[in-house]
Amino acid sequence: MIATFLLEFFGAIYAIIRYKMDRVGFITVLILTCLSVFQIAEYMICEVINLPGLTWARIGYVAITLLPPLGISLMMAIANKKSLITQLILYFVAGSFIVYFLFIAHALTNQVCSGNYVIFTASEDISKIYGLYYYGLLAITVFFSFQWTHHVKSVGRQKAL
């Protein structure tokens, strides 16, 4: 966990230093940052430093909740597609989940630190909706990525999609 955190964290710093921060670069840094925050949250659950495990679980959920809309934003940036409405809806839904996970006491009910991984347990009332959100957006990202690959002229952008 800590090694993955360090790779993602320093990968984000390297990207900031090495590459220009256009839309693709900025979103890439945000994705790496969210991934590193999730990894450090997992690590802290196991180490329980300064904050209770459920607090770190909440921080981890915030980080991974942003990944699907960031993935769609990255794909749209690579494909030169723009839709402010789509972006607003995606981040509003993500923000709604974030508020829920941060401020609703029963949103996360348990966390378990196992040797190789951490398990977060969310309340049953939100788990199915959150799963639909998370995996649904991942499926949409993959679908449009394949669709837009044929419409992008740059070979580098085609490969990135």
CB proximity list for 98: less than 8 A, separation 6 or greater = 61, 62, 65, 66
User: In percent, how much of the chain has pLDDT > 90?
Assistant: 55
Q: What is the pTM of this model?
A: 0.88
Tell me what the mean pLDDT of segment 103-129 comes to.
Answer: 77
Integer Cα distance of 26 and 110 in angstroms? 34
Distance CA 106, CA 113 (A): 19
Beta carbons of 65 and 101 less than 8 angstroms apart: yes
Nearest Cα neighbor of 160 from 13, 5, 28 is: 28
Lowest mean pLDDT among 28-32, 58-62, 132-136: 58-62
Tokens of 135: 């995996």
Number of separate domains in the chain = 1
One-letter amino acid of 65: T
Query: By mean pLDDT, which of 2-11, 70-79, 105-114 is the weakest?
Result: 105-114
**DSSP run (H or E) holding 61:** helix 53-65
The mean pLDDT of the chain is 88
pLDDT at 17: 94
Tell me the three state secondary structure of residue 111: strand
Looking at residue 51, what is its pLDDT?
Answer: 67
**pLDDT over 70 at 116, yes or no:** no
pLDDT at 117 (0 to 100)? 66
Across 111-139, average pLDDT: 82
Q: 42 near 1, Cβ under 8 Å?
A: yes
What is the tens place of the pLDDT at every residue in 37-85?
A: 999 988 887 776 666 667 888 898 999 999 999 999 999 999 999 999 9
Give residue 30's domain range: 2-160
Name which of 13, 16, 58, 23 is nearest 38 in CA terms.
Answer: 58
